Amino acid sequence: MSGKTNAVSSRLPVKTKKGFQLNQTVKTVALGSIIPVLLIIIWEYLSNIGVFPQHLLPAPTSIFYMILNMAGEGTLWSHMGITLYRLFLGFIIGVAAALILGAAVGYMKIVESLFDPLIQAFRSIPSLAWVPLFILWMGIGESSKVVLIAVGVFFPVYLNIVSGIQGVDRKLIEIGKIYNFNSFQLIRKIILPASLPSFLVGIRSGLGLGWMFVVAAELMGASKGIGYLLVYGQNIYSPDLIISSIVLFAILGKITDALLKNLESKSLHWRDTIEKKA
Amino acid sequence: MLAIENVSRTFSNGETGFKNISLSIQKGEIIGILGTSGCGKSTLLRVLSGLDVGFKGSVLIDGEAVSSVHEKIGMIFQEPRLLPWLKVIENISFGLTNDLNKHEKASKYLESVGLKGFENHYPKDLSGGMAQRVAIARALVTAPEILLLDEPFSALDAFTKMQLQDLLFSIWKQYESTILLVTHDIDEALYLCDRIVILRGQPGMIYSEIVIDQPKPRARGDAYLGQLKDKIIHLLDLSTSL
């Protein structure tokens, strides 16, 4: 037996795999950048020879300088800061509410019968329909924005938690029962880790919706934030500013999603899924 | 050690499950339960393990009636059922909740199933046979006196199966456990068991009981066992049902 064991363990190339993966990342990034870089170069060229009118679609360089300018003046950071703050607060509140309700609904039949129909009914309301009501209740200050974002984040997280918990393999739960685990131990040692994958999927799509709602919230009335820059750019007829804001949204959205994705792959490394091939 | 008196557990209007089963099992015995599919073999194990408490009759472990999962019971399922987010060693010590020496204990059983060096692997990196070895170690770690095995090797290839049957035999020799082995593999039952109980019918009832008084370890191609196999095939009435 020991001979076989050695043979098998040497077949698992842990170290070489890491180097391989690093190379792979560089390659993926390089491959993924070819088309965007090409498009930007063409765009720049066409803007410079005047095919794209400057007052409608400014050149990439002028957008880049716009962002650089704002960064130099310092306004960029305060706009970004307030947007991130709203998103973060709304996201945390939404996720926390979804976690508590979703866990209770997923685990206890009675809570599901009590709350799930109501929550599902609320879900069918397009979240933006809440905007007038929230403004009426809370004014156009921070709270209405944060609540709107929280509502947007809540539903995908809630749905994924409930389906994650209800989808836990009965066979794994029986393992806990064989060892006489009580409900609390079953939840902590089996149900929570087993539903972690769908929870993480939930918070990633929740974050996506959070970004959508932060734009909506800032469009509906704000004096700061990247969404405000969009409206302001429209008002002062500055396509540079509008496109800069869009670019900022893209960058920040990508960064926050990458953070969550990183968290996901770190905490779910045990999953037996197809590893991404070249 | 284990006394089953007139136990019945049926589903869907009494058409599946088993009924009126009585068995008395001595310490250290290996009992095989053979039967065609649908005759309640697995249900019987679930009742004995305490996972299914909706039965009629009485199950006594050392004179104590079973009403929930008993600490003297260890169970091994057809699938390894490892927790994919835990390393091998953590999977093995999974049942030891408040044990200070759980790492040492887990290591000991990991070694006894021949997987030393695989402590930090995750289940996804294991082959089917290795995963089932881990499941065996996990069942053994709480030092159960009675091991219930529900077709534990049926999903494995023939060679791995034989290796694990030998492993089970060595575990039995080392720990003197009482073993109840549900199987549909006649050779496996003949190779390992002291007694073979044959269930038939829907719901399943004890149709026959065969005592194999040959000393273990036995040779796999033994002529006497071959004769018994013919007898069992006849008892299971496989020839006419085909």
ipTM of the complex: 0.84
Rounded to a whole number of angstroms, the distance from the CA of A103 to the nearest CA of chain B is 20
CA atoms within 13 A on the CB side of A61: 7
Which chain A residue is nearest to residue B48, measuring alpha carbons? A178
pLDDT at A12: 47
pLDDT at A222: 82
Q: Which two tokens stand for residue A65?
A: 């300088």
Nearest-by-Cβ selection for A172 from B81, B115, B142: B81
Pick the CATH number of A58-267 from 1.10.645.10, 3.40.220.10, 2.40.50.140, 1.10.3720.10: 1.10.3720.10
CB atoms within 10 A of CB B29: 17
| CA dist., res. A184 & res. B128, Å (int) | 31
Q: What is the pLDDT of residues A255-268, one digit of tens each?
A: 999 999 999 888 88
Phi, psi at residue A249, to the nearest 5°?
A: -60, -45
Q: What is the pLDDT of residues B181-222, one digit of tens each?
A: 999 889 999 999 999 999 888 788 888 898 988 888 888 888
A189 touches chain B (CB under 8 A): yes
Phi, psi at residue A172, to the nearest 5°?
A: -75, -35
Sign for the pseudo-dihedral over CA of A133, A79, A254, A68:
positive
Q: Which two tokens stand for residue A199?
A: 């929870």
Fold of B2-70+79-212+227-241: Rossmann fold (3.40.50)
Q: Which amino acid is at B155?
A: A
| CA dist., res. B149 & res. B160, Å (int) | 16
Question: Which positions ≥6 away from B106 have C-beta within 8 Å?
Answer: B89, B90, B92, B93, B96, B137, B141
Which chain A residue is nearest to residue B123, measuring alpha carbons? A270
Contact B178, B29 (CB under 8 A): yes
Please, is A181 exposed, middle or buried when counting C-beta atoms within 10 Å of its C-beta (0-12, 13-18, 19+)? buried
Residue from A167, A266, A161 nearest A203 by CA: A161
> Average pLDDT, whole number, for chain B?
87
Treating both helix axes as pointing N-terminal to C-terminal, what angle do B128-140 and B158-175 enclose, rounded to 10 degrees?
Answer: 20
What string of DSSP letters covers A225-270? SHHHHHHHHHHTT-HHHHHHHHHHHHHHHHHHHHHHHHHHHHHTTT
A173 touches chain B (CB under 8 A): no
Residue B240 has pLDDT above 70, yes or no: no
Q: A96 or B240: which carries more pLDDT confidence? A: A96
Please list the ranges in chain A whose pLDDT falls under 50. 1-15, 276-278
B117/A6 CB distance under 8 A: yes
Contact A220, A86 (CB under 8 A): no
B84/A272 CB distance under 8 A: yes
pLDDT at A4: 43
| CA dist., res. A172 & res. A163, Å (int) | 16
Mean pLDDT of B163-192: 90
Contact B18, B200 (CB under 8 A): no
Q: Which two tokens stand for residue B11?
A: 């589903």
Using a CB–CB cut-off of 8 Å, the residues of B that contact A are 49, 51, 68-69, 71, 73-75, 77, 79, 81, 83-86, 94-95, 97, 114-118, 121-125, 127, 130, 142, 163
pLDDT at A3: 42
B117/A171 CB distance under 8 A: no
Lateral strand order in the sheet of B205-211: B73-76, B146-150, B178-183, B30-35, B195-200, B205-211
Contact A86, A146 (CB under 8 A): yes
| CA dist., res. A54 & res. B98, Å (int) | 71
Q: Which amino acid is at A201?
A: V
| CA dist., res. B131 & res. B129, Å (int) | 5
Contact A197, A268 (CB under 8 A): yes
Q: Which two tokens stand for residue A32?
A: 């993924």
Q: What is the pLDDT of residues B29-77, one digit of tens each?
A: 999 999 888 788 888 998 988 888 888 888 888 888 887 888 888 999 9
Question: Which positions ≥6 away from B66 have C-beta within 8 Å?
Answer: B48, B50, B59, B60
Q: Which chain B residues are Cβ-neighbours of A178 within 8 angstroms?
A: 49, 51, 69, 73-75, 95
Burial A4-37 (b: 16+ CB within 10 A, else e): eeeebeeeeeeeeeeeeeeeeeeeeeeeeeeeee
Which chain A residue is nearest to residue B71, measuring alpha carbons? A179
Q: Which two tokens stand for residue A247?
A: 């670019």
In Å, the largest CA–CA distance within chain B is 57
Q: Which amino acid is at B185?
A: D
Question: Which positions ≥6 away from A251 have C-beta within 8 Å?
Answer: none
Q: Which chain B residues are Cβ-neighbours of A1 within 8 angstroms?
A: 114, 163
Residue B242 has pLDDT above 60, yes or no: no
Sign for the pseudo-dihedral over CA of B103, B108, B109, B111:
positive
pLDDT at A6: 44
Q: Which amino acid is at A230?
A: L
**In terms of DSSP H, where are the helices of chain B?**
41-49, 88-92, 102-112, 128-140, 158-175, 186-192, 223-236, 238-241
Listed by start position, the domains of chain B span 2-70+79-212+227-241
Nearest-by-Cβ selection for B115 from A5, A269, A270: A5
H/E stretch holding A182: none
